Structure 1
Amino acid sequence: MPTKRVEPVTVLSLRRLSLGAPEPQPKEPKTFTVEDAVETIGFGRFHIALFLIMGSTGIAEAMEIMLIAVVSPVIRCEWQLENWQVALVTTMVFFGYMVFSILFGLLADRYGRWKILLISFLWGAYFSLLTSFSPSYIWFVFLRTMVGCGVSGHSQGLIIKTEFLPTKYRGYMLPLSQVFWLAGSLLIIGLASVVIPTIGWRWLIRIASIPGIVLILAFKFIPESARFNVSTGNTQAALATLQHIARMNRSAMPEGQLGEPILDKRGRFADLLDAKYLRTTLQIWVIWLGISFAYYGVILASTELLERDLVCGSRSESEAMVSVGVSEESQSPCYCHMFAPSDYRTMIISTVGEIALNPLNILGINFLGRRLSLSITMGCTALFFLLLNICTSSAGLIGFLFMLRALVAANFNTIYIYTAEVYPTTMRALGMGTSGSLCRIGAMVAPFISQVLMSASLLGALCLFSSVCVICAISAFTLPIETKGRALQVSD
């Protein structure tokens, strides 16, 4: 059988085609971001532990802040204080909070959220214990100011929670953190009703510092924010954290390698006032200041209303005023009305109000959006401040205080979430820190309205609170960015 002849041209043609074909390029490895990993891993056991531990920072913070409200009547009597001196204690606590809030925010964006949170708790617990040994009013004011400095760093716990939570869970889990603040408030009021009449206010302060000390031991179970580690170039630490979360949640990591740009420009104050964020930042500052002014105004006003029975003139000024230890040098009488068991019960009932609107607040945040929800609750807060001026029964007063506490708590929930979501990782802690600092200006002014102006003109004080809330409602409604359903930004 003859062999089939092969055409040489065909071979040459195949060679030419083979030589002319492009070389196969190696495929680029897949990469994923922290945001991709957080969304892929989803919600699980790690986030429950995170919620319990970081959420409990609210218990410690609430106990330290609410402590002044329940101790004020006692130190007023013990050190024969006038109205402005009692108000100064609260003001100085928030002055310390204001100064260190910015400092801790700057440091957290540069050196890590976890480190600053630990330092703030160590600081707060140390000076809180020292406060219980205060030999005089001046020492008491100074040491509580130092406590305020430490408490200002507790907000890093919220930032860590925010940066680990998947987008669709932030609007639900963050408002639930209010439960911990409520628990701390109720705990300190309950303890005060038992401890102050028996072993005194100094032991109340010592007992109140215990939750903060316990939490310090629990922090080792929570890692540094993976978003922060990536922003500093520590990709290995971020990857190890994400893998640990995936194992705890029994989930899979995204395919590929973790890769995000290193961000050298972190924690810069100028970025907050950049054209992109200037309007947002200024309006957020106004809202934080107003919400804090209203929140602490309600707390301190309820104390004053109970201590002096200012509503409806149920107790006249002359009856409420008791001259205590009037010396030849000072003829200024001071109010000395210790809380009765019924007063503690009223405080507990009104405090429970902080959780009353939580379900509606969560629905509003997730369906109406952050801006509209905040605008509505601020408007309602303004209304209830005015209603507080109505001459009513004790039950009516409790009802108004209950609703006010519910509304001001909802306001805080929403603005905390919005602020943590609107800023990128490079300045998230600083954004929270500066907002918290402006917030404390409102808290510093509130005591002089609730504890000084209110005794002179109840209507004037309530109208002032209401007007501020209206301004905040307008500012919230006109915020330029809505963060509902928006992924956390890494940088500008």
Structure 2
Amino acid sequence: MATKPTESITILSLRKLSLGTAEPQVKEPKTFTVEDAVETIGFGRFHIALFLIMGSTGVVEAMEIMLIAVVSPVIRCEWQLENWQVALVTTMVFFGYMVFSILFGLLADRYGRWKILLISFLWGAYFSLLTSFAPSYVWFVFLRTMVGCGVSGHSQGLIIKTEFLPTKYRGYMLPLSQVFWLAGSLLIIGLASVVIPTIGWRWLIRIASIPGIILIMAFKFIPESARFNVSTGNTQAAVATLEHIAKMNRSVMPEGKLVEPVLEKRGRFADLLDAKYLRTTLQIWVIWLGISFAYYGVILASAELLERDLVCGSKADSEVVVTGGDSGESQSPCYCHMFAPSDYRTMIISTIGEIALNPLNILGINFLGRRLSLSITMGCTALFFLLLNICTSSAGLIGFLFMLRALVAANFNTIYIYTAEVYPTTMRALGMGISGSLCRIGAMVAPFISQVLMSASILGALCLFSSVCVVCAISAFTLPIETKGRALQQIK
């Protein structure tokens, strides 16, 4: 009788075991996203090469943009130009930039960042070389406009860097790209000080085209963005790119299969104005426009202040009147003042200011966040524009210009990073392209404020620059999304 309970318990246990093994569990295969792969692979040799090659696009862009500032006094004399004609050259360069920035952004989201970057460099180098043979002022304006069209595609280099960098490195590596812009600015000013007085401005343009041509050959070492490839359904190419990066970095890929949704709707204007991004987009556009207005305003105002010492009212001592035409009615006076070696040195010193606040800018971006950091630097920019109204010594003027260049460069650093981070892959290039396009409106207006209005009223011009910076500071502070530490979004 003692064994009966034991037997019934044993039979019951076997039945439970049998029922438990009747339904085996199916293990789900492991998967990962591009974001997972980028974070797992980490930072290494590939990213250093990426930083050097894609960062060098800033050298070329800076040389082409700054070229106008150093050539303006020469063409003013050679073709006997008035102030508005000199300003029109810069305006048309940015008009070309504005139109093609949208087009290149749209095409980059649909056909790839790498292809558009290559096309833009080929375009820019070709028309830059042609500019050196311009037979007249009209041809010069047209060809520089075409150069502006090509330069507008250089921002794809920043997008490629952003999409390959791990999250925690973006706030450090992207601001360091300012070093390349600084290098390009210093290089063109240094070349101008040697080339223009000896063999002329045409040879300066030809020499300035060489870095862009060399860089084109280096693009083959950087692949297309893996984030873009998966958005188009080309998962195989994305995996191959990620494996190549892992091999270069001596790292490993995540386990499993790369799985991302295919995004058919890419590069659509409507997405930027979707309810989720509408407020952010509008405020970004205001900030881009204001930052560009202030940045190029500082560059061109520096040249004007150096040429004619407008603040202290001693411009008459440095003016040479050039007249054109045979009759008195056709004669129109214009200022003809070539840069002296001391002027080039002052431009170099003020340009070096662009890197002066870079360490603080990096700390601000990573610890205060993108929004607060941008708001602070924009507010300080407004203050230093007002300080330019003070009649001071040459050293004081250089000091103000130095700080202004440092602040406007920090502003550009932060808004570039924020814009690249806030939009998802489906519209990142288009968002950057339209922002870059709208900011050129500010760049187009800046010459007429710095080179025309400033001649009539320096107080009015500098107060206008300051007011725009205050508006941008408020817009930056009230941005609805903070991107510090935020993973790049694949879809909206």
- Tell me the TM-score normalized by structure 1: 0.96
Preserved CA contact (<8 Å) 2:94 2:443: yes
Whether the 8 Å contact between 1:326 and 1:333 is mirrored in structure 2 is no
Match of 1:134, SS state, is: coil
Change (3 A) 1:7 1:171: closer
How many Å apart are 1:26 and its aligned residue? Answer: 2.8
- TM-score by length of structure 2 reads 0.96
Q: Unpaired segments of 5 or more residues in structure 1?
A: none
- Distance in structure 2 (CA, Å) of the matches to 1:126 and 1:32: 43
Q: What is the CA–CA distance in structure 1 between the aligned matches of 2:13 and 2:25, rounded to whole Å?
A: 24
Which whole-Å CA distance do the structure 2 matches of 1:226 and 1:468 have between them?
38
1:377-428 deviation line (CA, Å, top 9, x unaligned):
0000000000001000011000000000000000000000000000000000
Deviation per residue, 1:320-358 (Å, 9 max, x gap): 544456655622111110110000000000000000000
State the match for 2:400 in structure 1.
400
**Deviation at residue 28 of structure 1 after TM alignment:** 1.1
Q: Which digits, 9 at most, give the CA deviation of each residue in 1:440-487, with x for residues without a partner?
A: 000000000000000011101000000000000000000000000100
CA deviation profile, 1:106-159 (whole Å, cap 9, x unmatched):
000000000000000000000000101101101000000000000000000000
1:13–1:173 Cα change, 3 Å? closer
* Contact 2:318–2:337 (8 Å) recurs in 1: no
Structure 1 equivalent of residue 129 of structure 2: 129
Please give the secondary structure, in 2, of the residue aligned with 1:4: helix
**C-alpha displacement of 1:359:** 0.4
Identity %: 92
Could you say which residue in structure 1 is the equivalent of 2:38? Answer: 38
Query: Is the 1:365–1:373 contact (alpha carbons within 8 Å) kept by the matching residues of 2?
Result: yes
Distance 1:371 1:9 in 2: 69
CA pair 476-326 structure 1, distance change in 2 beyond 3 A: farther
Counterpart CA distance in 1 for 2:17 and 2:203 is 91
Q: Distance in 2 between matches of 1:373 and 1:6?
A: 76
Distance 1:404 1:6 in 2: 91
Distance 2:13 2:42 in 1: 56
Distance 2:489 2:5 in 1: 69
Distance 1:302 1:439 in 2: 20
Q: In 2, distance between residues paired with 1:407 and 1:312?
A: 24
- 1:278 aligned partner: 278
Cα distance change on mapping 1:175 and 1:7 into 2, 3 Å: closer
What is the distance in 1 between the residues matched to 2:407 and 2:326? 42
Does the 8 Å contact 2:246/2:252 carry over to 1? yes
| 1:313 Cα offset (Å) | 1.3
Match for residue 486 of structure 2? 486
The 8 Å contact of residues 324 and 332 in structure 2, kept in 1 or not, is answered as no
- Partner SS state of residue 312, structure 2: helix
Shift of 1:89: 0.3
| Counterpart contact for 1:272–1:281, Cα < 8 Å | yes
Structure 2 SS opposite 1:255: coil
- CA distance in 2 between counterparts of 1:9 and 1:345 reads 97
Judge conservation of contact 1:80–1:325 (CA < 8 Å) in 2.
no
Distance 1:149 1:158 in 2: 17
1:360-391: per-residue Cα shift (whole Å, max 9, x none)? 00000001000000000000000000000100
Which region of structure 1 is more displaced relative to structure 2, 9-18 or 292-301?
9-18
Q: Report if the CA contact (8 A) 1:105-1:432 is conserved.
A: yes
Contact 1:267-1:427 within 8 A present in 2 as well: yes
Shift of 1:11: 7.3
Is the Cα–Cα contact under 8 Å of residues 93 and 148 in structure 1 kept in the other structure?
A: yes
1 CA distance for matches of 2:372 and 2:174? 18
CA drift at 1:318? 8.6
* C-alpha contact (below 8 Å) 2:319/2:336 kept by paired residues: no
Structure 2 contact 175–413 (Cα < 8 Å) conserved: yes
Deviations 1:244-286 (A, max 9, x none): 1011001111111111111111100000000000000000000
Question: Does the 8 A contact of 2:229 with 2:235 survive in 1?
Answer: yes
What CA deviation, in whole Å up to 9, does each residue of 1:78-115 have, x standing for no partner? 11111110000000000000000000000000000000
Deviation at 1:192, TM superposition (A): 0.3
Bigger shift: residues 407-416 or 312-321? 312-321
Contact 1:324 1:336 in 2 (8 A): no
368-377 vs 305-314, which moves further: 305-314
CA distance in 2, matches of 1:432, 1:3: 82
1:161 and 1:25 mapped to 2: Cα distance?
A: 43
CA distance in 1, matches of 2:9, 2:335: 113
Offset at 1:206? 0.5
Residues 294 and 465, structure 1, Cα contact 8 Å, conserved in 2: yes
Q: Report if the CA contact (8 A) 2:77-2:322 is conserved.
A: no
| Cα distance, 1:310 vs structure 2 | 1.2
Worse-superposed segment, 458-467 or 307-316? 307-316
Matching of residue 413 in structure 1 with residue 418 in structure 2: no
Are 2:319 and 2:335, in contact at CA under 8 Å, matched by a contact in 1?
no
SS in 2 for 1:5: helix
1:258 aligned partner: 258
C-alpha contact (below 8 Å) 1:43/1:165 kept by paired residues: yes
Change (3 A) 1:389 1:26: same
Q: Distance in 1 between matches of 2:200 and 2:325?
A: 20
Q: Report how far residue 306 of structure 1 moved.
A: 1.0
Match in the other structure for 2:211: 211
Q: Secondary structure of the residue that 2:6 maps to in structure 1?
A: coil
Counterparts in 2 of 1:21 and 1:406: CA distance versus 1, 3 Å: same
What displacement does 1:23 show? 2.7
